[in-house]
Amino acid sequence: MQTQTLAPDTAGLEIASALLASGGLVAFPTETVYGLGADATNDMAVARIFEAKGRPRFNPLIVHVDSVTTAKTLVQWTDTADRLAAAFWPGPLTLVLPLKANSPLSALVTADLPTLAVRVPEHPTARALLARFGGPVAAPSANPSGKISPTTAQHVAAGLTGRVDAILDDGPCDVGVESTILGLWETPILLRQGGLPQEAIETAVGAPLATHQADDKLTAPGQMLSHYAPGAKMRLNANKVDAGEALLGFGTVENATLNLSPAGDLTEAAANLFKHLHALDAQSPGTIAVSPIPNRGLGRAINDRLARAAAPRD
C-alpha cells in the first residue's frame, strides 16, 4: 500500500474524508498524539486498524466525535458526563460510558465490551476531518502496538508507512501525551493518566478520584504494563548519568543528552516526552536514564508513560 502525505487544507481534508468513507486508514493529528483513524461503523475498516498496528483484538478503541450531541447517540449519557464535557470538551479527556444498544458502531471498536470510550478532540484539523467525514472515527494512537506514541507525522511515517492510506501532516501535537481516560461508573474512576491533569477533574467533580489498579483487566483492558517501549533499556529517577547512558533530563541537570524542560515546566515536558524518546531511541544507546519528574499535574501522565516504557518486556 502507498502511504500519501496530505496537507491539512481543503484538498487534503477532502481526500482524507473520502478515504475514511471508503474504508481506508487515515492518520491525523489531535492535540494529544496522532491518531490512526477509520470509520467506526465499518467492520472491515476497524479490523484494518488492528492489523496495521499489530494490536490485540481485545484492546478496544477510542471513538472520536465532533460534539456532545453525537456522543449522546452512542453512549448512555449521565449528568456527570454533562458536567465534564461542558468543562473539558473539546480536549484531552476520554469518557467511558455504557454503550447504547442500538449504536451503529462496529463491535470490534469496543472489543465486545458493554462500554465505549469516546472523546471530542480539540485540534482544528481533527475537528475539520470529523466535520467533513460526518461520522464517528475510531482512532488509537498511530504507532505500532507497544511502541512509542507519535507526536509528529514523521513519527507516524516511521512506524506505519505502507500500512496506512494517508497521513494528514499538521506538525507537532501540542499536548504530547494521550488523553486522560475516565470511567463513569457509579463512582468515576481514572483509568489512564493523560493530557488533562487528575487535579483538574477532581476540581470539576468536587471529590478525589479513584484510580484503577494495574491488574484490573476488566476496567482497563489496554493498560499493558510494557508499552511505549523504546529499543533501549530505561532507568528512571536517575540523579546522575553512568558511562554509556543517554540522559533524558528535566530541570537544571547537567550532562542531559536531551532535556524535557530545562525550566522544569511539566506542560513543556509532556509535549517533548515522545519526541525526545523517539530521538534518543534513534541513537541506539544501551540505556536511557531519566531524571526524576514531579508526580503532579501532567507529571503524573509522564511518569505513567515512563514506567511503562521501563517495564519488563515479554
User: Do residues 75 and 98 touch, judged by C-beta distance below 8 A?
Assistant: yes
Total residue count of the chain as it appears in this document: 314
Residue 100-139 contact track with Mg ion, rule CB under 5 A, x = bound? ----------------------------------------
| Nearest distance from C-beta of residue 96 to ligand TXA, angstroms | 5
User: What's 86-115 look like in SS3?
Assistant: HHHCCCCEEEEEEECCCCCCCCCCCCCCCE
Task: Take residue 73 and report the three cell numbers written for it.
Answer: 447517540
Q: How far apart are CA 181 and CA 272, in angstroms?
A: 21
Q: Interface with ligand TXA includes 193 (CB under 6 A)?
A: no
Strand 93-98 with 180-184, pairing: parallel
Beta carbon nearer to ligand TXA, 15 or 26? 26
Is 60 an interacting residue with respect to ligand TXA (CB under 6 A)?
A: yes
Distances (CA, A) of 150 to 145, 156, 216: 12, 6, 26
Residue 36: CB minimum distance to Mg ion, A? 9
Please indicate if the annotation marks 34 as binding a ligand. Answer: no
**261 is in the binding site of which of Mg ion, ligand TXA, none (Cβ under 5 to 8 A by kind)?**
none
- Which string of x and - marks every residue 118-147 that binds ligand TXA (by CB under 6 A)? ---------------------xxx------
**By C-beta, is 26 or 253 nearer to ligand TXA?**
26
Q: Residue with CB nearest ligand TXA? A: 222
Question: Is 141 among the residues that bind Mg ion (CB under 5 A)?
Answer: yes
Q: What angle do CA 55, 49, 145 make, to 5 degrees?
A: 30
Work out which of 59, 73, 154, 267 binds ligand TXA, going by CB under 6 A. 59
Binding residue count for ligand TXA, defined by CB under 6 A? 26
Residue 189 sits at the vertex; the CA angle it makes with 71 and 298, to the nearest 5 degrees, is: 90
Q: Which residues contact 132 (CB under 8 A, 6 or more apart)?
A: 13, 14, 16, 17
Joined together, the cell numbers standing for residue 95 give 469518557
Amino acid at 219: T
- Part of the chain binding ligand TXA (CB under 6 A), chosen from 115-123, 128-136, 254-262, 267-275: 115-123
Site string for ligand TXA, 218-257 (x = CB under 6 A): --xxxx----------------------------------
Select from ligand TXA, Mg ion, none the partner in contact with residue 31, using the beta carbon and a kind-dependent cut-off of 5 to 8 Å.
none
> Could you say whether residue 152 binds ligand TXA (CB under 6 A)?
no
Residue among 60, 64, 73 nearest 220 (CA): 60
- Can you tell me the distance from the alpha carbon of 138 to that of 244, in angstroms, rounded to the nearest whole number? 41
Query: Closest Cα partner for 77 from 49, 100, 54, 105?
Result: 100
Peptide bond into 90 cis (omega under 30): yes
The annotation status of 64 as a binding-site residue, yes or no, is: yes
Q: List the grid coordinates of 22.
A: 471508503
| Residue ranges at the known binding site for ATP | 55, 59, 115, 141, 149, 192, 228
Contact residues toward Mg ion (CB under 5 A) are 141
Contact residues toward ligand TXA (CB under 6 A) are 30, 32-33, 35, 59-62, 94, 96, 110, 113, 115-117, 139-141, 178-179, 181, 191, 220-223
